Chains A and B, each alone.
Chain A
Amino acid sequence: MARYLLTRLGQALVIVILVTLITFVILHFLPGGAARAILGKEATLEQIAAFNHDMGYDRPLWEQYALYLQRLVRGDLGYSFQLNQSVAEAITQRLPKTMVLSLASTALAVVIAIPLGVVQAVRRNKWPDYTINALSLLAYATPIFFLGLMMIILFAQVWPLLPPEAPQGFTLGEVLADPAGLVLPTVTLAVLTVAVYSRYVRSSMVDNLNENYVRTARSKGLSEGRVIVGHTLRNGLFPVITLLGMYLPALFSGALVVERLFNYPGMGLLFWQSALKRDYPILLGVTLLISVATVLGALVADVLYAAVDPRVRLKASRS
Chain B
Amino acid sequence: MNDQTRVRGLWRNGLEVFVDNRLALAGVGIFVLLAAFSFLGPLFYSSDQVHTDLANVYLSPGTAGHPMGTDGVGYDQLGRLMVGGQTSIVVGLAAGLLATVVGTVWGAIAGFAGGWVDAIMMRVVDAMMSIPALFLFMLMAAIVTPTVPMLIVIIGAFAWLGPARLVRGEALTLRTREYVLAMRGMGGTGGRAVRRHIIPNAIGTVIVNATFQIADAILYVAYLSFLGLGVPPPAANWGGMLSDGLSDTFSGHWWLLYPPGIAIILIVLAFNFIGDGLRDVFEVRLRRR
Binding site for B on A (CB under 8 A): 11, 14-15, 18-19, 21-22, 26, 29-31, 125, 137-138, 140-146, 149, 153, 157, 248-250, 252-253, 256-257, 260-261, 271-272, 275-276, 278, 280, 283-284, 286-287, 290-291, 294-295, 298
Residues of B within 8 A of A137 (CB): 269, 272
Q: Which residues of A contact B257 (CB under 8 A)?
A: 149
Given A142-B264, A143-B264, A291-B131, 16 additional A-B pairs, CB 8 A:
A11-B123, A15-B127, A22-B127, A30-B143, A140-B268, A143-B239, A143-B261, A145-B243, A149-B249, A153-B249, A249-B133, A256-B134, A257-B134, A271-B135, A275-B139, A275-B229
Considering the chains assembled together, what is the distance between the CA atoms of A260 and B226 in angstroms?
9
Count, A-B residue pairs, CB within 8 A: 130
Instruction: Looking at the assembled complex, report how far the CB atom of B41 sits from the nearest CB atom of chain A, in whole angstroms.
Output: 22
Minimal beta-carbon separation of B132 from chain A (angstroms): 4
B130, B136, B142 — most chain A CB neighbours (10 Å):
B130
Q: A22-B127, A275-B227 are in contact. Are A143 and B132 (CB under 8 A)?
A: no
On whether A31 and B143 interact (CB within 8 A), knowing A256-B135, A271-B138, the answer reads yes
> A15-B123, A298-B130 are known contacts. Are A149 and B223 too (CB-CB below 8 A)?
no
Complex CA–CA separation, A257 to B226 (angstroms): 8
List 18 A–B pairs whose Cβ atoms lie within 8 Å, in order of A's numbering. A11-B123, A18-B124, A22-B128, A22-B131, A137-B269, A143-B223, A144-B223, A146-B242, A146-B265, A149-B246, A149-B249, A149-B257, A249-B129, A253-B134, A253-B223, A276-B142, A294-B132, A295-B130
A14, A146, A283, A290 interface centre (most CB from chain B within 10 Å)? A146
Structural contact, B130 and A19, CB atoms closer than 8 A: yes
When the two chains form their complex, are residues B138 and A140 in contact, meaning their CB atoms are under 8 A apart? no
Q: How far is the CB of A249 from chain B (nearest CB, A)?
A: 4
A146 to B259, CA, bound (A): 12
Q: Are A249 and B138 in contact (CB under 8 A)?
A: no
Contacts of A298 in B (CB 8 A): 130
Binding site for A on B (CB under 8 A): 123-124, 126-136, 138-139, 141-144, 215, 219, 222-223, 226-229, 239, 242-243, 246, 249-250, 257, 261, 264-265, 268-269, 272, 288
Select which of B132, B265, B268 is within 8 A of A250 by beta carbon.
B132
Are A138 and B243 interface neighbours, CB within 8 A? Answer: no
Cβ A275 vs Cβ B261 within 8 A: no
**Structural contact, A253 and B135, CB atoms closer than 8 A:** yes
A29 touches B268 (CB 8 A): no
Residues of B within 8 A of A15 (CB): 123, 126-127, 130
Determine how close the nearest CB of chain A comes to the CB of B256; give it in whole angstroms.
Answer: 12
Chain A, Cβ-Cβ closest to B271: A141
Q: Is B142's CB under 8 angstroms from A275's CB? A: yes
Closest to B138 in A: A275
A291 to chain B, nearest CB (A): 4
**What residues of chain A lie closer than 8 Å to B124, measured between beta carbons?**
18
Minimal Cβ-Cβ distance residue in B for A21: B127
With contacts A26-B139, A275-B138, A278-B142 taken as known, whether A253 is within 8 angstroms of B123 at the C-beta atoms is no
Contact in complex: A290, B135 (CB < 8 Å)? yes
Partner of A19, one of B127, B142, B215, B239: B127
Closest chain-B Cβ to A192's Cβ sits at a distance in Å of 11
- Which 10 A-B pairs have CB atoms at the shortest separation, nearest pair first? A18-B127, A253-B134, A141-B268, A249-B132, A252-B132, A294-B130, A291-B131, A275-B142, A253-B132, A141-B269
- Distance from B119 Cβ to chain A, minimum over Cβ atoms (Å): 9
Chain A residue, CB-CB nearest to B288? A125
- Within the complex, the shortest CB–CB distance from B249 to chain A, in Å, comes to 6
Q: Which residues of B contact A249 (CB under 8 A)?
A: 129-133
A106 CB to closest chain B CB (Å) equals: 15
Closest to B134 in A: A253
Query: What chain B residues lie within 8 Å of A253 (beta carbons)?
Result: 132-135, 223
Give the shortest distance, in Å, between A23 (CB) and chain B (any CB): 8
A146 to B261, CA, bound (A): 7
Which residues of chain B come closer than 8 Å to A140, judged between CB atoms? 268, 272
Q: Is the CB of B139 within 8 A of A287?
A: yes
**A143–B215 alpha-carbon span in the complex (Å):** 11
Question: Could you tell me the distance between the alpha carbons of A149 and B204 in the complex, rounded to whole angstroms?
Answer: 38
Cα–Cα, bound, A287→B134 (Å):
10
Give the distance in Å from the alpha carbon of A146 to the alpha carbon of B226 in the complex.
Answer: 10
Which B residues touch A125, using CB under 8 A? 288
Known contacts A149-B246, A252-B135, A275-B142; A143 and B130 CB within 8 A of each other:
no
Q: Looking at the complex, which one of B136, B227, B268, B269 makes contact with A272 (CB distance below 8 Å)?
A: B227
Chain B residues, Cβ within 8 Å of A271: 135, 138
Contacts of A143 in B (CB 8 A): 219, 222-223, 226, 239, 242, 261, 264
Q: Which residue of A lies closest to B215 (CB)?
A: A141
Q: Which of A141, A248, A280 is close to B272, meaning CB atoms less than 8 Å apart?
A: A141
Q: B239 to chain A: which residues have CB within 8 Å? A: 143
**When the two chains form the complex, which single residue of B130, B142, B227, B264 contacts A257, counting CB atoms closer than 8 Å?**
B227
How distant is the Cα of A275 from the Cα of B265 in the complex, in angstroms? Answer: 27
- From B227, B269, B272, name the one whose CB has the most chain A CB atoms within 10 angstroms: B227
Complex Cα–Cα for A14 and B130 (A)? 12
Q: Provide the bound-state CA to CA distance between A201 and B193, in Å.
A: 38
Inter-chain contacts of B130 with A (CB < 8 A): 15, 19, 249, 291, 294-295, 298
Q: Which residues of A contact B268 (CB under 8 A)?
A: 140-141
Task: List chain B residues, Cβ under 8 A from A286.
Answer: 135
The one of A14, A157, A250 in contact with B123, judged by C-beta atoms closer than 8 angstroms, is A14
